[in-house]
Amino acid sequence: MPREFVHRAAVAETLLTGWSGTGEDRFTVSAQWPRAHQLHVSPDRTSYDPLLLAETVRQCGALLAHTEYGVPLGHRFVLHELRLTASPERLAVGPLPAEPVVGVTVTEVRRRGGRPAAMRYDADVRLDGDRVATGYVDVSWTGENVYRRLRGGRTPDSVTALAVPPGLSPAAVGRAVPEDVVLAPTRRRDRWQLRVDTGHPVFFDHPLDHVPGMLLLEAARQAAQVRRLASRPPVALRAVFCRYAELDRPVWIQATEEGNEHIQVVAIQGESAVFECRVSTGGL
């Protein structure tokens, strides 16, 4: 799979392997999950992390936009909403790399000037024929010139990220090494500063001028882990990306428990929410 189709620079982060059409706005996408991954496999390497499914579903949209809907390579994509419900008991790491198959149904294509400008799609992720997750994505895109105007000239070269503060212990957030911890403690047990390490090889697979959506999703997952959400792993996410989170201003992660099965996570920069995510141990 060409890496540029899924907006990745590293072959190791390119999860998709092929695709085919199965009907009008319906596709089958094949993928491969490595048995060992710096971030998306449990510390003991026995199970795949639900965020690996989220990244797989995200990559499906980029692939199909470029290959099936004529979106030029180099266009900038904006993730607006992502939902995922997974079955962790079916995500065990086996003796071979897992090869999931994703059924994608594009439910809406929004056009501007006669050209596709955004789309929504549903995803059905299966391993060996069994459903292991379902997903939904709302994404749009724009050309480089328009994107630069929207960003006010901010580029990876012109923006300097804040220094990375010391993080929580890896064990507290379900990670193996300090480099993968994305939360820094504050005086409040329900509030953390987002650690934005632009050298991280997964979150910043290539230079960016803003905080990537997958980093915000990981912050929500880690916040739920810290709050000991019924001592069970998150199985569902409902995330809304409100606006760009800038690299040179602090982002604060706040968590509010909603009963025994849900936690609401909000990322705040300045006076505004840049991201909201409901994390659940049960159905949404």
Stretch 275-279: mean pLDDT? 97
pLDDT digits (tens, 9 = 90+) for 78-122: 999 999 999 988 999 999 999 999 999 999 999 999 999 999 999
Among 32-46, 49-63, 163-177, 217-231, the least confident range: 217-231
Q: Distance from CA of residue 102 to its chain's centroid? A: 16
Stretch 17-32: mean pLDDT? 97
The number of beta carbons lying within 10 Å of the beta carbon of residue 204 is 19
First CA to last CA across the chain, in angstroms?
Answer: 33
The number of beta carbons lying within 10 Å of the beta carbon of residue 73 is 10
Class of residue 129 by CB neighbours under 10 A (exposed 0-12, middle 13-18, buried 19+): exposed
Quote the tokens at residue 226.
């810290």
pLDDT of 231 above 80 = no
Cα separation, 73 vs 229, in Å, equals: 41
Stretch 197-213: mean pLDDT? 96
Sole residue written with tokens 């997952």 = 221
pLDDT digits (tens, 9 = 90+) for 124-164: 999 999 999 999 999 999 999 999 999 998 999 999 999 99
Task: Give residue 284's pLDDT.
Answer: 45
All domains of the chain in start order, with CATH: 3-149 (3.10.129.10), 152-280 (3.10.129.10)
Task: Give residue 251's pLDDT.
Answer: 98
pLDDT of 230 above 60 = no
In 3-state terms, what secondary structure has residue 101?
strand
Kindly report the pTM of this predicted structure.
Answer: 0.95
Nearest to 30 by CA among 98, 99, 94: 99
Q: Distance from CA of residue 96 to its chain's centroid? A: 24
H or E stretch covering 256: strand 252-258
Stretch 28-50: mean pLDDT? 92
Quote the tokens at residue 136.
């939904």
104 close to 136: Cβ distance less than 8 angstroms = no
Question: What is the residue type of 12?
Answer: A
